[in-house]
Copies of this chain bind each other. A is one copy, B any other.
Amino acid sequence: MQSAGIIEIETRVRMAETDLMQVAHHANHFRWFEMARVEYLRTRGLVLKALIDQGILFPIKEVYCDYKEPARYDDELVIRAELIEFTKVKIVFTYQILRKLDNVLLATGKTTNVFTDLMGRISRLPDPVFNQLRK
């Protein structure tokens, strides 16, 4: 599903993502956020691999997650990403992770990526790429 600035993807909690507290380890939520973010950009015609090949990196600058309920092994998850800010120097998404079965909200989050050159220096996104995403 996908509307204006929102995308939803689905995934299932893998055995390797759980820990001995019987729930998904909290670092995985950032991998799931990333999957949704990448998919969002893909649907807008932006393939990250192509950006890298042009010498543009987009490292993470800040991340936040609020865990409301545990994600458990084998749970089907819906990850919803919303683009909330996009300039030539940064891109900000918020996220919701829902349990598909009953639509319970498991976590919310926020990430900020910046654009840099291959040396890691902050750079401005070239107009063609910027305009493509702006659409």
Contacts and interface: CB of A to CB of B under 8 A. Distances in A.
Interface in A54-75: 57, 59-67, 69-70, 73-74
Interface residues of A, number: 38
B38 A15 contact: yes
A25 interface: yes
Interface string A78-110: 000000000000000000000000000000000
A23 B116 CA distance: 13
Given A15-B25, A21-B59, A26-B60, 18 more contacts: A14-B34, A15-B20, A15-B34, A16-B25, A16-B34, A18-B20, A20-B22, A20-B23, A47-B74, A49-B74, A59-B67, A59-B70, A62-B64, A62-B66, A62-B67, A63-B63, A63-B64, A69-B120
